Structure formats: structure tokens, C-alpha cells
Amino acid sequence: MPDDVILLADGGGGERMMELVKRQILTRFGPLDPSGELAKLSDAARVVTGGVELAFTTDSYVVRPLEFPGGDIGRLAISGTVNDLSCLGARPVALSMGLILEEGLDMALLGRVLDSAARTAREVGVPVVCGDTKVVERGSADQLFINTAGIGLIMKGADGKPRQLGAAMIRPGDRVLVSGTLADHGVAVMSKREGLRFEAAVESDVAPLWPLAERLLAACPNLRVLKDPTRGGLAAAVNELAEAARVHMRIEETAVPVRPAVAGACDALGLDVLNVANEGKYVVIVPADEADAALAAMRGHPLGREAAVIGEVLEGDAPGPRVTLRTRIGGERVLELPYGEDLPRIC
């Protein structure tokens, strides 16, 4: 009875999760939101109040294990929410943090994770201004879950108006970029969880990307999209964008930056690099004539050294698959929205 109970695949960031969210959430809460922000299912919602335009977002973090090469749940919880805000072109202003602790949780582990969260918040100068702490009985949670929500102030353009980023801004001819190598986060977490060792160390890319967003906003007056390719990876991100924008996209497989150790690990684990979660990368869409400026802006910052142009937005709204991949051997295949959960509890 796959439709009567929740399955792990319902949380994977793929097609099943989209279906669940549409059926269970949008039908009920969509009608209450005249702004239509919820229905966009974007990284953050635009909230206009008191004459200012804000970004507002939330994520719960359930990653297992809590500490992994390159990061931990604390760094992840701050970075993820900062990154979602920045996808609307919003400077992070304030964060909340809700902790669900399992009875028996090691206090030293909690301390390390909170140290890491505080360090990460300091990197981007954003305060945690409110929070909540709940404790549940042993066996009713898995050590520690963290929820963060965030408020950001949407930056203004040269015309004095708040910047407008999002799928609705995408036009045929635009270029698709990524800010660096893909799949590092998912592979780092999985290799730690499975006790795998690879020849070269693989570390998560988890990082707060606001400094990179700030550079891109300055360099590209017509920046269309910043998107956070987390669960479901690049494949989910570009499919969601193409669907929302009613366009097609073509991605060049050879242009996608991937560390050799990560590519090897994906082969070993039976994963597709393009479906694996990232926690410190943007998918960036700009007009063709701003692609060079976007590349230069990113490559000039440590978080964007390996940025690359990986594809383009195509003409037309023909039926059929939205995203195609020109493969390494010169063929072309559909790049699908992943279905379910290759990697449970990756973030």
C-alpha cells in the first residue's frame, strides 16, 4: 500500500516528494496564500510587509551521521538556510534554530555541533536571534535534528527596486552555470556512513554561499536564477527550473565539474553524480552576454574557483522531457527528475 503510508522515497527531493508536497501541502495551504509563493516551491519565499521585500525560508536537518568529512549538522543547518535566502538575492538578516534532542545525546557531541554552527554563522555575519529546544525519549528521535529558518533582505538593483531572481526570469538563450564541482556533499556523507575509503579524501562542500551571491549580484545586472542543488542534485534543480519556466535546457556532461575521487565513488556506490546532493554550490542562470562576468565573479572567490558553464536554455515549450544531457560519448539522453530516495538523510 505505497500510497497509504510515508516511504523513505517521499523525502528524497525527487518526483515522489514533489507529488507528496503537491497532494498533501499545496492543496491545503495553497489557497491560504494569495501571493502564490508557497506554490512556487522555490528555495525561499518572497514576503512583502511594512513596505520591505523579504526572503523567508526553512529547512529541517536530519543528516546521518551528525559529523562527516568536511562538515557536520551544525554547519549544514546554518549554510542551508543562508543559501536558500541568497537564492532570492537576499542578504541573510536573522536565523532561528530549533533543536530536537534525543534523551541520552552526548553533550560533548552537541557542543561540537553547536560550535560549528556558530562558526558558520560568524562567517557570514548572521545572528541566530531565536530558538527552541525539545527533548524526546530515547528511541523517539535519532540523536539530534536541527531546524533553521531565516529572514533575508532582498537586495536592490541599480533601479532601486528589489532584485527579481527566479525561474520566471529565465529566457531562451540563457546560459546555465554551476559554481563548482558536484556531488561532494552526498559522497562524503555516504562514504562516512558506509565506512568506505577512497584513494583521495572526499569532503563535503557544505558552506554558506552569501559572499558568492553578493559577487554575482554585482557582476550580473540581469542575473536570472540562483538555485541550491541539494537533494536530488543538479538533475532535480534543472528539471524544477525548466518545468517552472516552461523551457527546455541542454546540459553538456563533459562541462560538469566533478572531482575524480567523487566520480569514482559514485561508480562504486551505484550513484549518478547528477542526482547527488550538494550543500555549497549554486546553479546559476544568466543571459548569454553575462556568462563571462558570472564566471569571473565566481572564480575570483574561493567558493567558486571551479565554476563552469554547463549548458543553455533552449527555445520553445514543446511537450516531452524538459532537460537533455549531451553525453561524454556525443549522444543525447533525457536528464530526468530523480524519482525517489537514493540517499536517505543526506541533509
Span 6-65, contacts to a second copy by CB under 8 A:
6-12, 17, 20-21, 24-25, 28-29, 32-35, 37-38, 44-45, 47, 49-54, 56-62
Gyration radius (Cα) of the chain, Å: 19
C-alpha cell at 123: 562567517
Binding mask 277-306 for a second copy (x = CB under 8 A): ------------------------------
Q: Which residue among 79, 83, 147, 204 contacts a second copy (CB under 8 A)? A: 147
Q: Which residue among 66, 100, 276, 343 contacts a second copy (CB under 8 A)? A: 100
Q: At its nearest, how many Å lie between a second copy and the CB of residue 210?
A: 15
Instruction: Report which secondary-structure segment, H or E, holds 65.
Output: none
Q: Which residue among 134, 161, 246, 305 contacts a second copy (CB under 8 A)? A: 134
Q: Which residue among 73, 151, 225, 284 contacts a second copy (CB under 8 A)? A: 151
DSSP, res 337: P
Q: At its nearest, how many Å lie between a second copy and the CB of residue 108?
A: 7
153 is an interface residue for a second copy by CB under 8 A = yes
Give the integer Cα–Cα distance in Å for 251 and 249. 7
86 is an interface residue for a second copy by CB under 8 A = no
129 is an interface residue for a second copy by CB under 8 A = yes
C-alpha cell at 304: 567558486
196 is an interface residue for a second copy by CB under 8 A = no
Measured over the CA atoms of residue 240, residue 188, residue 272 and residue 301, the dihedral's sign is: positive
- Residue 66's identity, in one-letter code, is L
Q: Which of residues 316-335 bind a second copy (CB under 8 A)?
A: none
Q: Which residue among 65, 127, 173, 302 contacts a second copy (CB under 8 A)? A: 127
**Which region, left, alpha or beta, applies to residue 51 given φ > 0 means left and ψ of -120 to 50 means alpha?**
left
CB 41 within 8 A of CB 240: yes
244 is an interface residue for a second copy by CB under 8 A = no
Q: Which residue among 117, 217, 220, 276 contacts a second copy (CB under 8 A)? A: 117
Q: Which of 130, 201 has the CB closer to a second copy? A: 130
Size of the site for a second copy (CB under 8 A): 87
Distances (CA, A) of 321 to 77, 160, 311, 324, 330: 33, 38, 16, 7, 19
CB 231 within 8 A of CB 341: no
DSSP, res 25: I
Q: Which residue among 22, 122, 246, 333 contacts a second copy (CB under 8 A)? A: 122
Q: Within 13 A of 66's CA, how many CA atoms are on the CB side? A: 19
